[in-house]
């Protein structure tokens, strides 16, 4: 029995080995046949032809010394490998990447300054500072070949044309344009690439962009650089430090390529909505602030670019559709409130759509949009334009705020109530703003006799300061002067002039301190129909940057101290009173003594 089972097992093994040998022999035979056929066709044996091709490519490409050594070493490895192995595929991919990025290929940079200027002017209206900087760069490039690519950061509210400006700059300078969006990038290896040991690894976004551009001196636009996140996989903002430093980026090493690559000829343009990014990163870039557009600039942009673009996009003919300047102004004032022109473009598109529908339905042959019939196309007005307040009121002051979408008018309201001398603040205010209200109220208490208020009166009153809208978070110290004015107005019951707005931080001594975002604040004041704006004396230096039509439309008064603010803002000057604390104390003590002596006699009865 035992021998029988052993024989059965032997027989089983023999048949299995035989069938396997037959299979292997068959495959070997077919492979040999295939090789013979390929040889006859001249397709090379074992991919040696492919290796020869790669070698030829390496010889043609102007690789750096380090890259050439690396490429030769990889070719050597590839020769000793079976062409079908997984490792061979990795090496082949690596060599493909190495040879597909540009080495020493430059695009010819345009040097004609007037041409560049006209290209920039045709594409964008305004934005003088950026254009000036680009033309200066081109001028220097004519004289010096050693100039590294500039690294600029355009900071401004959404919709002012930062990204489209990148395209226009590339066109003006004759560089290839590549856009990399950094919004939401959380992984450091997106910038620097993954190591080759990982399956499916590839170089980072910068090297990929260069492969796409095919030249070593493109313009790379890094969009939304302030929106980069960070998590456990590393911090991409810190990886950007190497890319954006002209001293370091000439030896940029990608984890995948593992050889140095020179990025110093690349022109980097980054865009951002705020300065909210790490300090070292900000320090690497030349910051060019772009502020919102004025009403006149928006009108020009709409006439020169937006209307023609929308008419073309909607297939309207020139004779069929006309939108008058008054209608565009109406859209800017009553239907949009923004620093850029995105919503303006949407509203113009809406007008174009409705007009086209009318024409196709044969309701009209030609549509002319004027200020009077604008509401037929756009419906009810969305925003109020004009004075913030209808009449002079007690305790209501117009302050100026700066938000990410431009300037805003801020109403500051104060009330006095019978109470115990408490100060109450509402309106979702940040800590800095609450502290600025405290400083304002302390200052007002210290000067109370000068404004005609007796100090003991504070102990019988509560003051409540509110800043609408209740849901919008507000912070910052620049409403200090407005707070003081509001508190003084409510204590003295003197109304504040409705056509005056003010901005400025206040110190405990009542001095007006400088603030930021002046241009946006003045634009908001002009938009809101304010005629006079009070600004701190130290901000006078910013006035040359303000467009002339804004300065002509507003009376701008620089002030040094709160006393000057009160003179301008209150309808009449408060009358000072004589206040002698010692005399008051003595009088109070005498009154008390008289009362107690009177009380004694009463008890004796």
Higher local confidence (pLDDT), 232 or 85: 85
183 plus 86 within the same structural domain: no
427 plus 565 within the same structural domain: yes
283 plus 307 within the same structural domain: no
Rounded percentage of the chain residues whose pLDDT exceeds 70: 96
179 plus 60 within the same structural domain: no
Residue 499 lies in a domain: yes
Final residue before a domain boundary, out of 378, 413, 446: 378
274 plus 301 within the same structural domain: no
Task: Give residue-wise pLDDT tens across range 320-336.
Answer: 888 899 999 889 888 88
Q: Please, are residues 478 and 410 in contact by the beta-carbon 8 Å criterion?
A: no
Q: Please, are residues 229 and 184 in contact by the beta-carbon 8 Å criterion?
A: yes
Task: Give residue-wise pLDDT tens across range 404-442.
Answer: 666 778 888 999 999 888 888 888 888 888 898 899 889
- Is residue 58 scored above 80 in pLDDT? yes
482 plus 545 within the same structural domain: yes
CA distances from 408 to 174, 337, 386, 529 (A): 40, 9, 13, 12
137 plus 210 within the same structural domain: yes
Residue 529 lies in a domain: yes
The stretches of 399-465 forming alpha helices (DSSP H) are 431-446
Task: Give residue-wise pLDDT tens across range 140-156.
Answer: 877 877 777 788 888 88
Average pLDDT over residues 291-316: 87
Neighbouring C-beta atoms of residue 538, cutoff 10 Å: 15
Q: Please, are residues 409 and 528 in contact by the beta-carbon 8 Å criterion?
A: yes
Average pLDDT over residues 19-41: 84
Give residue 599's pLDDT band: very low, low, confident or very high (50, 70, 90). low
Residue positions annotated with a catalytic role: 478, 521
Give residue 600's pLDDT band: very low, low, confident or very high (50, 70, 90). low
Residue 37 lies in a domain: no
Q: Which of the residue ranges 330-344, 358-372, 386-400, 559-573 would you say has the lowest mean pLDDT?
A: 386-400
Statement: the pTM of the whole predicted model exceeds 0.85: no
Q: What is the extent of the structural domain holding 86? A: 50-100
Cα–Cα dist 482/156, whole Å: 26
- Is residue 206 scored above 70 in pLDDT? yes
Residue 544 lies in a domain: yes
- Is residue 276 scored above 60 in pLDDT? yes
Higher local confidence (pLDDT), 388 or 158: 158
pLDDT at 546: 84
pLDDT at 485: 93
151 plus 271 within the same structural domain: yes
Average pLDDT over residues 454-480: 85
Indicate which CATH number applies to the domain containing 275: 3.40.50.300
Residue 15 lies in a domain: no
220 plus 281 within the same structural domain: yes
Residue 30 lies in a domain: no
Rounded percentage of the chain residues whose pLDDT exceeds 90: 16
pLDDT at 503: 92
339 plus 451 within the same structural domain: no
Residue 128 lies in a domain: yes
Q: Which residue has the tokens 């009070």?
A: 534
Peptide bond into 304 cis (omega under 30): no
pLDDT at 243: 86
To the nearest whole number, what is the mean pLDDT of the chain? 85
Domain count, the chain: 4
pLDDT at 209: 92
Task: Give residue-wise pLDDT tens across range 534-573.
Answer: 999 999 998 888 888 888 889 999 999 999 999 999 998 8
Indicate which CATH number applies to the domain containing 373: 1.10.8.60
422 plus 445 within the same structural domain: yes
The helix/strand/coil state of 97 is: helix
419 plus 534 within the same structural domain: yes
Distance of CA 527 to the CA centre of its chain: 23
Residue 595 lies in a domain: no
């Amino acid at each position: 029995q035992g021998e029988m089972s052993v024989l059965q097992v032997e027989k089983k093994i023999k048949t299995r080995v035989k069938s396997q040998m037959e299979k292997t022999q068959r495959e070997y035979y077919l492979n040999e046949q295939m090789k013979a056929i390929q040889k006859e066709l001249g397709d090379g044996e074992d991919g040696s032809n492919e290796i020869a091709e790669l070698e030829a490519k390496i010889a043609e490409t102007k690789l750096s010394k380090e890259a050439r050594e690396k490429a030769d070493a990889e070719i050597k490895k590839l020769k000793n490998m079976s062409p079908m192995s997984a490792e061979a595929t990795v090496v082949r991919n690596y060599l493909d990447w190495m040879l597909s990025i540009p080495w020493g290929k430059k695009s010819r940079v345009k040097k004609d300054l007037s041409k560049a200027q006209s290209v920039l002017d045709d594409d964008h209206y305004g934005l003088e500072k950026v254009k000036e900087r680009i033309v200066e760069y081109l001028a220097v490039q004519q004289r010096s070949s050693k100039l590294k690519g500039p690294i600029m950061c355009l900071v401004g509210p959404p919709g002012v044309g930062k990204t489209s400006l990148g395209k226009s700059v590339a066109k003006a300078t004759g560089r290839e344009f590549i856009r990399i969006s950094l919004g939401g990038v959380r992984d450091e290896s997106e910038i620097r690439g993954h190591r080759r040991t990982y399956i499916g690894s590839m170089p980072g976004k910068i090297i990929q962009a260069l492969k796409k551009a095919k030249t070593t001196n493109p313009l790379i636009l890094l969009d939304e650089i302030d929106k980069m996140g960070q998590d456990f996989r590393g911090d991409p903002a810190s990886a950007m430090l190497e890319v954006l430093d002209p001293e370091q980026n000439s030896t940029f090493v990608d984890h995948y390529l593992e050889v140095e690559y020179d990025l110093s000829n690349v022109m980097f343009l980054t865009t951002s909505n705020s300065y909210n990014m790490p300090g070292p990163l900000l320090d690497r870039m030349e910051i060019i602030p772009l502020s919102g557009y004025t009403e006149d600039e928006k009108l020009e942009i709409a006439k020169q670019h937006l209307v023609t673009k929308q008419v073309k996009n909607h297939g309207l003919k020139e004779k069929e559709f006309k939108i008058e300047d008054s209608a565009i102004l109406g859209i800017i004032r009553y239907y949009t409130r923004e620093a850029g022109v995105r919503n303006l473009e949407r509203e113009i598109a809406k007008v174009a759509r409705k007009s086209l529908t009318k024409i196709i339905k044969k309701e009209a042959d030609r549509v002319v949009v004027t200020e009077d019939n604008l509401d037929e196309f756009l419906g009810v007005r969305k925003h109020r334009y004009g004075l913030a307040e209808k009449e002079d009121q007690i305790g209501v002051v117009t302050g100026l705020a700066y938000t990410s979408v431009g300037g805003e008018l801020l109403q500051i309201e104060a009330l006095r109530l019978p109470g115990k001398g408490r100060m109450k603040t509402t309106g979702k205010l940040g800590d800095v703003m609450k502290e600025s209200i405290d400083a304002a109220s302390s200052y007002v208490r210290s000067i109370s006799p000068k404004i005609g208020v007796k100090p003991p009166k504070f102990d019988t009153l509560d003051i409540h300061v509110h800043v609408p809208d209740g849901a919008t978070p507000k912070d910052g110290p620049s409403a200090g002067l407005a707070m003081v004015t509001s508190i003084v107005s409510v204590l003295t019951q003197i109304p504040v002039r409705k056509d005056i707005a003010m901005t400025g931080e206040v110190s405990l001594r009542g001095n007006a301190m400088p603030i930021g975002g002046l241009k946006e604040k003045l634009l908001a004041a002009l938009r809101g129909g304010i005629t006079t704006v009070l600004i701190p004396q130290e901000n006078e230096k910013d006035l040359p940057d303000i467009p002339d039509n804004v300065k002509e439309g507003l009376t701008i008064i620089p002030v040094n101290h709160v006393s000057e603010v009160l003179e301008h803002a209150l309808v009449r000057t408060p009358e000072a009173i004589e206040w002698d604390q010692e005399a008051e104390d003595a009088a109070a003590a005498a009154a008390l003594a008289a009362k107690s002596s009177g009380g004694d006699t009463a008890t004796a009865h």
